[in-house]
Structure 1
Amino acid sequence: MTSPSPLVSPATGAARDAALVLAALTPSERGALLRDLSDVLREHTGQLVTLAQEETHLDETRLRGEVLRTCMQLDMFAEITEEGAYLDVMIDRADTEALPAPRPDVRRMLVPLGPVAVFTASNFPFAFSVLGGDTASAIAAGCPVIIKAHEGHPRLTDLTAALAAAVLPTGVLSVVHGRDAGRALVTDPVVQAVGFTGSTAGGRALFDLAAQRPDPIPFYGELGSLNPVIITPGALAARGADLVGEYIGSVTRSQGQLCTKPGLLFLPERHGLENSLHEAISAVPPAPMLGPWIAEAYSATLDDLAAHAAVRRIGAVPTGNKGTEQRAHSPSAALLTVTADDLRNHPELLRECFGPASMVVTYTSSEDLLATLRKIPGSLTATVHGEENTDEELVRNIWSTLRAGRLIWNDWPTGVAVTRAMHHGGPWPATTSPLHTSVGGTAINRWLRPIAYQNMPEALLPQALQTSNPWGVRRRTAP
């Protein structure tokens, strides 16, 4: 067993002590905690947003909307917890006459894993941070949370955690800072699972640490995603001009710092939109990114892609660190273009460029398009803009070719609705576990494991499995 590190042991020790307390709460009591956290955010929105603006450069409207989204997530998981259906209770009563052999009494439910670690994201200082979906779903499941603060908004993290601690039992939520502390969290024997949102390189390094533990634990990482968008010939003919503005709006929303940003746009060859694309992307004013480290990485990745022999530029190219400090931290939006054939032959171009840039890929035929789509790595989303009466066969072939967690028809991937049915995951490298998601009602499943109780005396059963069902949860019972 790995020895605990002094960098995190105070937090993990408190979480270990809190785990039994939190798991013992009834569904209604746990739901009340989540509603209290939602109320805390609403009550302190102004103070939190002001500090978030200072640390992230995101505008007030965006941040206030994100606080509201975070409150909605907390309220949604309060409802899920109170309903109790997430426990997935199954009861098979004993049957002495069952064939081929008598059947014992077997009762199954999901139980919390124990303390978990959550790595917060730079681009969502509320919705994917201290009280974001990872934390909300973990507390709903009955798991204490140790937050690894993102270096992009440390003061906001501490303030949010302090406000939350006032309404939570001791040890249910704590914070650690620094990369060394983050690595120590993943290997600490108290931690039973990890949630992560961030870069592919950073996530993979932590994923490997989790797998190399003497007792490997689940690592739920949301990493990089290209989020391809396909424009069919029918859609191009019907509304190509409108799609240009919508595409540029999606690419540059929040300065392109969204995991669902469309990184690839597939257009038929000779689409006739290059001038419109050039004008639209050039009209986007530079804006500050979350921090200099992101701006520098964006400029370096984009410059590397633009220098490739198979790639041409459309519109502006960021100045990177070659201009003033302000321009270096506020790079321009940019579009690149490549043929589908060249993209297939140069897989090194299939890289996420986190920021306001995207690549237009031109295809000559349905076969050319589908052959290229087969090369695209797993994504969070895949989008098709098509015409229902003319493109159905092509679209069916596209859906069967692409690997993505959310398929979108005639819409754009940016903007992830806070609903129970939402799935925000996908095959590698979009996530480390395509079965689970960091948004939506099933996010709670990451922090649970099943236990079956066989021939257990009534008094020793958890309340959800007792015949009297004192929690009143929904159950599947076989006679």
Structure 2
Amino acid sequence: MTFTPHGRHLIAGEWVGGEEFFENEPAFGPAHRFSMGTVDLVERAAEAAEEAFWSYGYASRKDRAAFLTAIADGIEARGADITAIGCQETGLPEARLNGERARTTGQLRLFAETILKGDYLDRRHDPALPDRKPLPRPDLRLMQRPIGPVAVFGASNFPLAFSVAGGDTAAALAAGCPVVVKGHSAHPGTSEIVAEAIHEAVQSCGVHPGVFSLVQGGRREVGSALVTHPRIRAVGFTGSLGGGRALFDLCARRPEPIPFFGELGSVNPMFLLPGALAARGAEIGAGWAASMTGSAGQLCTNPGITVVPEGAEGDAFVAATAAALRDVAPQVMLTAGMARAYREGKERFDSRNAVRPVFTSESGGRMAGPNLYEVPAAAFLEDHALSEEVFGPLSLVVRVPAPDDMVALARGFEGQLTATIHMDAPDTDLARRLLPVLERKAGRVLVNGFPTGVEVVDAMVHGGPYPASTNFGATSVGTMSIRRFLRPVCYQNIPEGVLPADLE
């Protein structure tokens, strides 16, 4: 690796140090020292973002598309170094980092294409009717406009696709909104090298330097200062329910409240219907084992619960899943703190008398092995803690007395990012009854697949009813995510030459 982090923040085009420092905790390789974020840095970044908005927010779509493309080019040019530092800091395998980098640059280019097409502007025109009786109608035009500076919190589990130049940043920049990123302390070196790519694009495209800033690390008051700063107009967040809800409440308590677009986690239930269970239960069990343990289970779409009927075929499915888990070696988790939380989650399941361990493995230090448990539906419904996410490769089988009981159980779930039905042709009637329930519970409903793996396309929804996310009408993946950072403006009787260029 040729890249060595310098440990400074990027504030409106300047690399800035500080008096306090923290060290990253890499899974392997040397640790590096980074300047600690401060409230003053947030102040400087937010004010610079507001200043940048007066030019960037009114720049042409062509110029913004060129900027997004330049960022993607800069990330690709640093590809090998990004993968190397990312693997060191997170413990994620090289193939995962390479794939995530491709997803990151792909969504930047996708947003460039989206804004060039212009459909996202949702332009509408009701021409004047001067002769209408009893009153004439004015000329009315509508278009979506950027809201202003946006704060983005980097995610722990996606050091590229949901962090510095990830989906939230790409959508905000595409909309015309400057961005201030609060980097995640789990991978500050990765954040820094991606920020270098953005900084290079700012310079090559002649964009106002306040369009992007990166504040690294910092105590809780730094994040609080960012979401409460009066220049910030919206917040994008991917993380824990507790941390996200605290920031959401701060946004709501501001003198002028702002939207908080938080993705807060999900158990992503799967429903294994009897026809599919009989025909291919073992195959589904092996697929579930692979999905739940991919990236050490540290994915927000990890299928943490599967609902299965009681009986011999359900028993065989559980046994096949456990057999597949025996071949899964312990994996490195993103941070020591997450590994600790995973072990605590396992202890929660071990302490329940109604919960039967099906397959368990030892986890220690930063390593996590897979675990599988089983519980009757009645006990599951009585204990809310069993439906709470355990971030890591731990999953639960919920056994219902009969297939028809799945509908009632589904109604008891909280909001989810995804819900999955495994079905064959004989299951059609039950699937029809399940679907209306699941579409009220989740932003994405799948059939005969696994929810890990989120396509970055026009039709994707990555969000859902609370607590999966704080805004059920939004998505943080796909081109529709740009809507979060836009607002409609109606222009009445505005003459040509004064109208925005996109409306002329």
Q: Quick check: 1:340–1:369 contact (8 Å CA) kept in 2?
A: no
Q: Quick check: 2:68–2:112 contact (8 Å CA) kept in 1?
A: yes
Are 1:399 and 2:435 counterparts?
Answer: yes
Select the residue among 368, 393, 396 that pairs with 1:331: 368
Question: Residue 422 of structure 2 aligns with which residue?
Answer: 385
Structure 1 residue 454 displacement after superposition: 1.0
Task: Render the CA deviation track for 1:103-153: whole Å, top value 9, x for unaligned.
Answer: 111111111001000001011111001111111110000000000100100
Structure 1 residue 5 displacement after superposition: 4.4
Are 1:240 and 2:281 counterparts?
Answer: yes
Select the residue among 337, 356, 367 that pairs with 2:404: 367
Distance in 2 (CA, whole Å) between partners of 1:277 and 1:92 is 59
Q: Quick check: 1:311–1:338 contact (8 Å CA) kept in 2?
A: yes
Select the residue among 211, 216, 219 that pairs with 1:172: 211
1:185-204 alignment runs, 5 A limit:
185-204=226-245
Question: Residue 298 of structure 1 aligns with which residue?
Answer: 342
Secondary structure at 2:426 match in 1: coil
Q: Quick check: 1:7–1:184 contact (8 Å CA) kept in 2?
A: no
Distance in 2 (CA, whole Å) between partners of 1:186 and 1:81 is 27
Structure 1 residue 339 displacement after superposition: 1.1
1:138-177 alignment runs, 5 A limit:
138-168=172-202, 169=207, 170-177=209-216
Structure 1 residue 272 displacement after superposition: 2.4
Are 1:272 and 2:315 counterparts?
Answer: yes
Distance in 2 (CA, whole Å) between partners of 1:391 and 1:279 is 26
Q: Cα RMSD between the aligned structures?
A: 1.3
The number of residues matched between the two structures is 455
Distance in 2 (CA, whole Å) between partners of 1:125 and 1:110 is 30
Task: Render the CA deviation track for 1:222-245: whole Å, top value 9, x for unaligned.
Answer: 002010001100001110111111
Distance in 2 (CA, whole Å) between partners of 1:312 and 1:175 is 46
Secondary structure at 1:407 match in 2: strand
- Residue range with higher mean Cα deviation, 71-80 or 265-274: 265-274
Match of 1:255, as an amino acid?
Answer: A
Distance in 1 (CA, whole Å) between partners of 2:191 and 2:281 is 43
Question: Residue 33 of structure 2 aligns with which residue?
Answer: none
Distance in 1 (CA, whole Å) between partners of 2:322 and 2:144 is 53
Match of 2:210, as an amino acid?
Answer: G
Are 1:307 and 2:351 counterparts?
Answer: yes
Structure 1 residue 101 displacement after superposition: 3.4
Task: Render the CA deviation track for 1:208-261: whole Å, top value 9, x for unaligned.
Answer: 000000000000000020100011000011101111110000000100000000
Match of 1:122, as an amino acid?
Answer: S
Secondary structure at 2:143 match in 1: strand
Match of 2:493, as an amino acid?
Answer: N
Q: Quick check: 1:379–1:405 contact (8 Å CA) kept in 2?
A: yes
- Residue identity (%): 45
Task: Render the CA deviation track for 1:247-295: whole Å, top value 9, x for unaligned.
Answer: 0000001000000000111111021223323222222110110010110
Secondary structure at 2:306 match in 1: strand
Secondary structure at 1:140 match in 2: helix
Question: Residue 40 of structure 1 aligns with which residue?
Answer: 74
Distance 1:100 1:412, change over 3 A: farther
Q: Quick check: 1:315–1:335 contact (8 Å CA) kept in 2?
A: yes
Structure 1 residue 166 displacement after superposition: 1.3
Question: Residue 437 of structure 1 aligns with which residue?
Answer: 475
Secondary structure at 1:328 match in 2: coil
Distance in 2 (CA, whole Å) between partners of 1:417 and 1:100 is 52
Distance in 2 (CA, whole Å) between partners of 1:99 and 1:134 is 48
Task: Render the CA deviation track for 1:2-61: whole Å, top value 9, x for unaligned.
Answer: xx9424111111111111111121111111111111111111100111111111111111
- Residue range with higher mean Cα deviation, 108-117 or 167-176: 167-176
Select the residue among 282, 286, 294 that pairs with 2:330: 286
Q: Quick check: 2:309–2:403 contact (8 Å CA) kept in 1?
A: no
Structure 1 residue 318 displacement after superposition: 3.6
Gaps of 5+ in 2: 1-37
Q: Quick check: 1:226–1:263 contact (8 Å CA) kept in 2?
A: yes
Match of 1:87, as an amino acid?
Answer: L
Normalising by structure 1, we get a TM-score of: 0.93
Are 1:459 and 2:462 counterparts?
Answer: no
Distance in 2 (CA, whole Å) between partners of 1:262 and 1:99 is 60
1:68-147 alignment runs, 5 A limit:
68-98=102-132, 101-147=135-181
Question: Residue 475 of structure 1 aligns with which residue?
Answer: none
Select the residue among 393, 396, 410 that pairs with 1:356: 393
Distance in 2 (CA, whole Å) between partners of 1:398 and 1:236 is 16
Are 1:212 and 2:250 counterparts?
Answer: no
Structure 1 residue 332 displacement after superposition: 1.2
Task: Render the CA deviation track for 1:349-375: whole Å, top value 9, x for unaligned.
Answer: 110001001100111123321111111
Distance in 2 (CA, whole Å) between partners of 1:314 and 1:282 is 11
Match of 1:427, as an amino acid?
Answer: P
Question: Residue 455 of structure 2 aligns with which residue?
Answer: 417
Structure with more relative contact order (C-alpha pairs < 8 Å, separation 6 or more): 1
Distance 1:7 1:236, change over 3 A: same
Match of 2:247, as an amino acid?
Answer: L
Structure 1 residue 306 displacement after superposition: 2.3
Distance in 1 (CA, whole Å) between partners of 2:370 and 2:500 is 56
Q: Quick check: 2:74–2:200 contact (8 Å CA) kept in 1?
A: no
Task: Render the CA deviation track for 1:367-400: whole Å, top value 9, x for unaligned.
Answer: 321111111111000000101x211110111111
Match of 1:166, as an amino acid?
Answer: E
Question: Residue 30 of structure 2 aligns with which residue?
Answer: none
Are 1:340 and 2:387 counterparts?
Answer: no
Match of 1:173, as an amino acid?
Answer: F
- Residue range with higher mean Cα deviation, 92-101 or 278-287: 92-101
Structure 1 residue 100 displacement after superposition: 5.8
Structure 1 residue 456 displacement after superposition: 1.6
Normalising by structure 2, we get a TM-score of: 0.88
**Runs of 4+ residues over 4 Å off in structure 1:** none
